[in-house]
Chains A and B, each alone.
Chain A
Amino acid sequence: MELLNNILEYLGLFFVLLGSIFLFLGALGIYRMPDIYDRLQAGTKASTLGAMSVALGVGLMQPDWLIKLIVIILFIGISNPLSSHALARASYHSGIVPFFKNKIDAYENVVKKEKKKH
């Protein structure tokens, strides 16, 4: 029993460490990236994974809270990508030009089609 508890504790610590690394990388990405779309990429993916894995790590260390934390993980998993998607879409539609290197804008045609529909 004690062995299991120790294993769970170390596993939890590992997940918390992993999560903090991802959160740090997300912050670095927000600082380094050139425009809003790239920043959203860095921020969303890294911070979603980071927050989820910190919550999971805490849940492994404190098994009483595990169910609550799983609900929190699901909530983060739904809401975080969704809000970033809405932000990116809104900033494209309000005319923020992406930072191009190879001038490919695949979303332009989709927007044109949507406008024709209306």
Chain B
Amino acid sequence: MSSTSLTRPAGSAHGTRARTGTPVRVRTVVARLLGWSLLAGFGVAVLYPVLWMVLSGFKDNQEIFNQPWGLPGELRWENWARAWDLGVVRYFTNSVIVTSATIVATTLISAWAAYGMCRLRLPFGNGVALLVLGGLLLSPTVALIPLFRLLTSIGLFDTYWALIVLYTAFRVPFTIFLIRAYMIELPRSVDEAATIDGASSTQIFWRIILPMSRPILVSAALLQALFAWNEFAFALVFVSDDSLKTLPVGLMAMQSRLLTDWPVMLAGLSMAALPTIVLFLIGQRQFLRGLTEGVGK
């Protein structure tokens, strides 16, 4: 920036723009107003359907069909209890089991691999990095049919294991890169000092590197939770027993059972959405770090 621009009288920008007709002040105010209404309008568009879902979960059929825009006359918790009993409890439990298992497996396996790749001497380390990078590019949809054959032949079809193993396998590449980007920044001197003290690489990992990587492990776990809780395609194809279904697929089954009972269904949807929303609200910072690290590298 030049000194002339610093000393330029405030009116000059004003003067050049004023030729177009409207004074800058007015134009700025109008622009700000437009900007704010876009932001607010989008906020309402996002929030309203979610609020409608939760509030409609308290209505009865009469209210929901005749006054869809109105508030519920009373808080009918019985809808929520009914949705819970009609299947949400089962699907919810299944989701919790599958999600927890894959969080542990994905985070651990990825942390091991990231440690091996960036802090130990690994024969053909570049090959491993390429394999992991390639894994990022391959998508689950393309693998549906061969996986169906594979899982059937090894007896994993229609079990929790099918989902746990696949959720882990398909998310390990992303999680490795996420954790590796963090581990690579940890000072080398830490490992060296520990080695001199006679620690093995196993001890260094569990006692030093893993605890130091805690922030990124939290991000990785949260992202895996969001992914596994909401995953649909694998859950649809590889689990057919209703008692093993996770929430996303279970809710579809519930919808075809309930048909016209909208309030109960909406209560069920709200309950299914709650855990990930709460998790996001609590761990927002870790979520965003994981997302932008993962996307940016």
Q: Say whether A associates with B.
A: no
Mark B residues whose CB is within 8 Å of A. Answer: none
